[in-house]
Structure 1
Amino acid sequence: MMTSRTVVVTGASRGLGLASAAHLHRAGWTVVAAMRSVDEGMARLRDATGAGAADRRLIGVRLDLTDAESISGAVKDIEQAVGAPYALVHNAGISAAGMVEETPVSLWERMFATNVFGPVALTRALLPSMRAAGAGRIVLVSSQGGVRGMPATAPYSAVKGALERWGESMAGEVASFGIGVSVLVTGTYDTDIITDAGTTDCRVLDGPYARHHQTMDRRGRAAMRYAARSPEAFAVGLEKALQSNKPFDRRAVGPDARMLMVASRLLPPSALHHMVRVMMGIPRFGAIRPVPATATRLPADSDPA
């Protein structure tokens, strides 16, 4: 790897983005850390890397992926600071919990704006300079929800699935210019996005899906205690992806993600559905009967005709 290569990492103020930016800086990359809260995020990055305020290989850029003006401003700042970046890592995103019936459409819109539309806009704006440079890599951070739609996180699964299809399409468009695309399917990592603080909670815990929520919450928290890995482990996998010379590369980062990808290739959709259902403790098909509607009674003196 050339030490002069530059990587833009979105969502670099915390979680996987923070760990990745710090790891790549230590590995010799010039890191452009894109985030909404630059002062707070850069303070964390300097603590993690030991870099001083004058370090030219660690650059903070303000970026709000839901704001078109912020995206335009970030692109100008990136190109002014480093020219055409070699790599662009789309890590920023938000999560939500709740059944489809419980999740408002406004949240779906915000999820797509942050996880899909914003990254597309940022990529479109940076691609001309990357094409002119004749080399580069675009990395899309997906998840297990991009492999298989997961109950109670439909918006998150939907945006990750859309992210993967976008990456597959774009890979065919930019490969001839020397730009590759990688999709990273992440496993479970110990970050805010898997905690109550990092997730928009739309669950109605005393509603018709209460039985689902109780079981899934109990099993999910137990799985996180045993399966969640350090964000630094993800950063190592990201660095390997950045070194790939394949025009398109889709890989798992984490043992649980790897197991799901293998299962999705080997099992038919119906079998995979049942496997997920059993793992999450969701009742079998038709197990919960509908509540009968209260019969409408006509007044005694009314005429049914």
Structure 2
Amino acid sequence: MPLYEKKYEYQEIRVNTNEDINKIIADYNSFYNLPRPGISAIDDPSVYLQTFFRGQSDESWKIRASIEGAKEQENEILADFGSMHDGNSFDLIAYIQHYRTGTRFIDFTTDKDVALYFACSENMDKDGALFMWCYSPHKAEWYTASVLAEVAQINSDSKMSVQELSEMILRKKPKIKEAFKETIELNTAIVSFLDHGFMAVPPETAKESNLRLKRQSGCFYVCGVEFEHPLEGMARISSHAGYNMFYPHSVQIPKGLRNGNALVKMVICKELKEEILEYLEKKGITKEYLLPD
């Protein structure tokens, strides 16, 4: 019986060799025919439906955003670094995520060796986990990333309507105002992603100022927010979208990263960790390389 079963459901697979890992990845990509064009009409391989990886050194940990363990709220954290990155909120949050403290970004990579390192580099007495998930990502330059980056900077702890958010965005972002002539249009667009978030690939500008991001072939799942009421039924249609209320500093991990149909969790036995680290070191994948100061 193959390790990876070619079917649309969450799978948790225990692996005992590096060859097992490579075979599972190959079978997964074959089953989903990856990479291939995804949601975007542009022919850009960076936003193709593709496989993303995440390594965690204790397999019992759930996938979570690092901001969940932070003492400060996002807007307070961002205010401390406000003069960096020329006002580019996405690049700033990416820098903070890699060098300082928690954000609503969840680290992923397109390089399975990088994820393997983080799955094996700590907690040597625990089994590790290598997560694999396919997604058609957004680009950090798109309006969707700008919206969630702006949400992170909202000062108020109070709940807020989508209409209020749209009005704020249109005042602050001229390029978005060019694309959405009416507030109702932006309301409808925002409720299509704000409750669950999306995977985002960083721009080259972020990599230029963030060597860790570059060397780790990093990308991020940008978490959405909690709404006062679930976005069901009529809640997402244009005439109702603006009335939906949300909590700006809440963090919503999507169901897909819990036990989604396309999610695969490979459990790496603790006895295999040293062998994998030796294999990675021969390829130049070390702590010094991945985590430069």
- TM-score range relative to shorter protein: under 0.3
TM-score by length of 1: 0.22
Q: Which structure: larger Rg?
A: 1
